[in-house]
Amino acid sequence: MFEYKRITLAVSLALAITACSGSTEDVTTTTAGSAASAAEAGSYEAQQAESEKANELFEELFMETVMRSPMYQSRLGIKDDQDKWDDISEQRAAENLEFQQAQLERVMAIDESKLDEQTRVSWLLMKQQLENDIADYQWRHYNYPVNQMFGMHSSVASLLINQHGISEVSDAEDYIARLNDLPRLFEQLAENLNIRADKGIIAPQFVYPYVINDSQNIITGAPFDDGEASVLWADFTSKLESLELDESQHETLMTAGRQAMLESVQPAYQDLISAVEGIAEQATTDDGAWKFPDGEAFYNNALQRTTTTDLTSDEIHQIGLDEVARIHEEMREIMQQVGYEGSLQEFFVYMRNNEDFIYPATDEGRQRYIDEATAYIDHMRERLDELFINKPQADMVVRAVEPFREQSAGKAFYQQPSMDGSRPGVYYANLYDMESMPTYQMEALAYHEGIPGHHMQIAIQQELEGIPSFRRFGRYTAYSEGWGLYTEYLPKEIGLYEDPYSDFGRLAMELWRAVRLVVDTGIHDKQWDREESIEFYVENTPNARADAVKMVERHIVMPSQATAYKIGMIKILELREKAMTELGDDFDIREFHDVVLGRGAVPLNVLEQFVDEYIAETKSA
């Protein structure tokens, strides 16, 4: 059983059920009764007033934070500063610390004792979030600003392509302004890399070819050379074509865009590539966070933030080993069901090398994958009423990862819809290496990234009413990724995964997350090297070696992140089992899911309080 202590006992008090005692009339004195009623009314009015003040403050604080980040604004569909990039300088980091400290003072000025229950939860979450951010300032350099998973070198292009729409001339002018602002942004980025290098925080050698290749891809093609249109030029010109412009206006914008590409974008990327090449000369093959100064303390803190638990590295490692053994046994049952004779490891090799599960690496093969993943999601939509009360209004689509970043991007990921729902949620499937996307895993992957997984959880969260924006757009990895993994399993309970190979794929993906617990702690705590970690994946899962390489490289550049999935899933299943046991015939899976999704992303211990409240209320009803 896990221990959950990240929020103090005040959370339990905030979420405790207020016992409603029966009315007992005091017939001795009407005056006393009237006085009590007046006191209660006054108390209720005071609570309403303080709660209203608190919620207004939460909105102010959230929007103040959003308006300090032009890039976050674009992700939310806000256009106020869409002609700018973020300021990522050291000076800005120090200003952000002071900004958060001032915000915390304003939060602490709220009288918690006068808040209603829902607002008190918001107050506690906001307080904890700010306290954690302030405490983590000491670790602000303990990351790799550019790597094969993410970084400004790729995110600027991704943001322009996917989130900077052009529906009027001013949008095009803002796009051009952003192109011209790249040299400033990348100069700050290079300085960030040098600061980390001086502290000994340098990504391992394998990272740099990915970063350099992705950067070169963005400045390859017209107008940078004589090839086909580069990804940014193709994006800008196609978006411009959608505007109804006269010839003179169109030519003016095209000229300004081309000039920005050649005079700002190209030299900015060239300078960044040179800076990255310089850092790469200092890189070693040491992979884990243990190599950092105070690396052990950093990693322990990272595990706490990621899992929202106090589980130690050793405990997480052992949970992973136990789960690997359990899932292997379930896989042996499916192996017998399909009539395969041999060991589980031999079955892994068979599944890994069976071309029947791999679509061809052609345009037709990739489109077939997208179409069939979409079909799984569409079919799941038709079954949602069996499992959910509330469903998202925002739409979602399935797309292939764009060519400029497909070689380094992860296997699959989800992009949230815009704040107003006008831009759909997107499940991105990386189809660069079709062998890494076997069809027997397609069904589970579609459920995880799409419906009932991330789209269901994140879109519903953004559309919630009655909670402040910081909760509608906040993230707790163990909660969101735990939900994603839980929803790979959930469809099996209503009869999906009819093909045993597809069910094997579901188990293969759960197994993958269990191995993550072992390998992440192995790399960052037990000093496993890259090859040792890759071999653990290959020996214990049916996935392609290329999958194992990508996953281990992800562990290395994102310490602790991959531990969230299994820890979160285990907790959600544990809470569901608790509710089923205590409620018996009164348990309703739709109500349980409403409890889990109905108040946004929260730490796992707070989720437990919500479920306990649901159990108590259902019993009393």
Q: What is the pLDDT of residues 520-538, one digit of tens each?
A: 999 999 999 999 999 999 9
C-beta separation of 85 from 182 below 8 A:
yes
Q: 463-496, pLDDT tens digit by residue?
A: 999 899 999 999 999 999 999 999 999 999 999 9
Q: 321-332, pLDDT tens digit by residue?
A: 999 999 999 999
Tokens of 479: 């909660």
CA atoms of 485 and 288, how far apart (whole Å):
26
DSSP helix/strand/coil, 527: coil
Average pLDDT estimate for 601-613: 95
Average pLDDT estimate for 77-92: 97
Average pLDDT estimate for 217-240: 96
- Which residues make Cβ contacts (< 8 Å) with residue 412, sequence separation at least 6? 427, 428, 429, 430, 445, 448, 449
Say whether pLDDT at 110 is over 50: yes
Q: How confident is the model at residue 14 (pLDDT cuts 50, 70, 90)?
A: very low
pLDDT at res. 418: 85
Say whether pLDDT at 29 is over 50: no
pLDDT at res. 46: 80
Average pLDDT estimate for 274-287: 97
- Which residues make Cβ contacts (< 8 Å) with residue 371, sequence separation at least 6? none
Question: In which region does residue 200 sit, left (phi positive, over 0), alpha (psi from -120 to 50) or beta (all else)?
Answer: left
Average pLDDT estimate for 348-359: 94
Say whether pLDDT at 10 is over 70: no
C-beta separation of 464 from 598 below 8 A:
yes
Cβ neighbours of 386 (radius 10 Å): 11
Whether the CA torsion 273, 275, 278, 284 is positive or negative: it is negative
pLDDT at res. 39: 54
* Residue entry with tokens 């790469």: 280
Tokens of 168: 């009027």
pLDDT at res. 361: 95
Say whether pLDDT at 179 is over 50: yes
pLDDT at res. 11: 34
Q: How far is CA 551 from the centre of its chain?
A: 16
Average pLDDT estimate for 88-111: 98
- Name which residue leads in pLDDT, 34 or 429: 429
pLDDT at res. 466: 86
Share of the chain above pLDDT 70, in %: 93
| Consecutive H or E run containing 413 | strand 412-415
Q: Phi and psi of 60, rounded to 5°?
A: -60, -45
Average pLDDT estimate for 6-35: 36
| Span between the terminal Cα atoms of the chain, in Å | 29
Cα 114 to Cα 16, 109, 495, distances in angstroms: 15, 12, 48
CA atoms of 425 and 462, how far apart (whole Å):
11
Say whether pLDDT at 19 is over 80: no
Q: Phi and psi of 85, rounded to 5°?
A: -105, 170
C-beta separation of 427 from 450 below 8 A:
yes
pLDDT at res. 594: 97
CA atoms of 269 and 67, how far apart (whole Å):
27
* Residue entry with tokens 């069939």: 372
pTM: 0.85
Say whether pLDDT at 6 is over 80: no
C-beta separation of 193 from 187 below 8 A:
no
* Residue entry with tokens 């302030």: 134
pLDDT at res. 411: 86
DSSP helix/strand/coil, 511: helix
Say whether pLDDT at 108 is over 70: yes
* Residue entry with tokens 């041999």: 342
How confident is the prediction for the chain on average, in pLDDT?
A: 92
Average pLDDT estimate for 11-34: 36
* Residue entry with tokens 């009164």: 586
Q: 381-391, pLDDT tens digit by residue?
A: 999 999 999 99
Say whether pLDDT at 57 is over 80: yes
CA atoms of 468 and 281, how far apart (whole Å):
47
Whether the CA torsion 125, 128, 131, 137 is positive or negative: it is negative
